[in-house]
Amino acid sequence: MEIPEGAAAAATATASGDGVLDFSRLSLSSFSADGVSDERRRDARQLYLSYNRLASLPSSVGLFCNLEFLDVSNNGLSAICEGVTRLTRLKTLVAKNNRLDEFSLPKDFGSLQLEVLNFSGNRFEEIPLQCMKLLRLQSLSLGGNRLRSIPAEIENLTSLELLYLGGNLITAIPPEVANLPWLSYLVLCDNRIQSVPPQLTRLHSLRSLSLHNNLLTYLPREILCLVHLQELSLRGNPLVVRFVKEMTYDPPSLLEFAGRTIKSRNIPYYPGDLPANLLSYLDFASKCPNPKCAECTSPCSSNPQSDAESEDESSVPAYRLQRVLLG
């Protein structure tokens, strides 16, 4: 089905007074902007072409000169037209679940002023270098592709706040990722990653790190220096499997859980509010003699004299890992 030209096009699309044109779910195999009036093209801020049968995006999309949001998801797109580079006000491009790869983008794609780009569910084996020129980009999603690596040029995207690369074939995290000062959400789950570079501790804005279902056998101790980290997902890694097996034979007591909750959430209390054994436990934790455990939430059994010598520099001690996984 093709969009009818002339006045009939206005009846085909769903339009609203706030600049939204919706051509989604119409089984369209082609699209032409010629049937849309000049006024509607000029007023359009959002254009939806998702859930159709488009194999390519025609250059006429560039006629929507004030477009800020474009959704072409769930089609059969194998190429993004050159005309999209004329959309100088475009901030969001959603093109997930198509047939795009690293050869599908126009040469000047990097000249766009995009803030949000979603290419998840396509056929990318590499992140196109044109994407590394989108200096205003705040959110980049390439989940569910065939990526094997993350280019070092990722460090160019200094405005990036969310990087979603889950569900690929990535084997390593380049240290250049640590040069993204505003990165808050890093999703690398369901890959083949075997290690985490200690440089990630420079991600001072990081709040969520998803690493589940990888091949991690250890974590660098520096990961605990991410003071703003609120969520760390590690399930489905050899590291966690081994740790859980060990914890099965030496699980933390209810006293430890209670003390950890009070300390980690900074819950105020008075001596008369808690049982004597819990008060004693908390007091002991706050006076931990180990200089490496400045933020202990429970008593530490490490010997401060032998701590540095006894721990493998490439791994986190069990009691600290317990805080990450169970605290």
pLDDT digits (tens, 9 = 90+) for 83-107: 999 999 999 999 999 999 999 999 9
Pair (182, 286) in one structural domain: no
Residue 138 has pLDDT above 50, yes or no: yes
C-alpha span between 160 and 321 (Å, rounded): 28
Pair (157, 262) in one structural domain: no
Pair (303, 256) in one structural domain: yes
Pair (291, 234) in one structural domain: no
Q: Are 171 and 150 in contact (CB under 8 A)?
A: no
Pair (242, 257) in one structural domain: no
pLDDT at 9: 39
- Our count of domains for the chain comes to 2
Q: Are 61 and 78 in contact (CB under 8 A)?
A: no
Domain that holds residue 301: 252-326
pLDDT digits (tens, 9 = 90+) for 231-270: 999 999 998 866 666 555 556 678 887 887 887 788 888 8
78 or 261: which leads in pLDDT: 78
C-alpha span between 27 and 37 (Å, rounded): 22
Which stretch of 97-101, 282-286, 303-307 has the lowest confidence by average pLDDT?
A: 303-307
pLDDT at 5: 34
C-alpha span between 136 and 159 (Å, rounded): 6
Residue 303 has pLDDT above 90, yes or no: no
Question: How many residues can be counted in the chain?
Answer: 327
Residue 210 has pLDDT above 60, yes or no: yes
C-alpha span between 250 and 325 (Å, rounded): 15
Q: Are 96 and 121 in contact (CB under 8 A)?
A: yes
Percent of the chain residues topping a pLDDT of 70: 78
pLDDT digits (tens, 9 = 90+) for 2-27: 444 333 334 456 655 689 999 999 99
What mean pLDDT is predicted for residues 270-294? 68
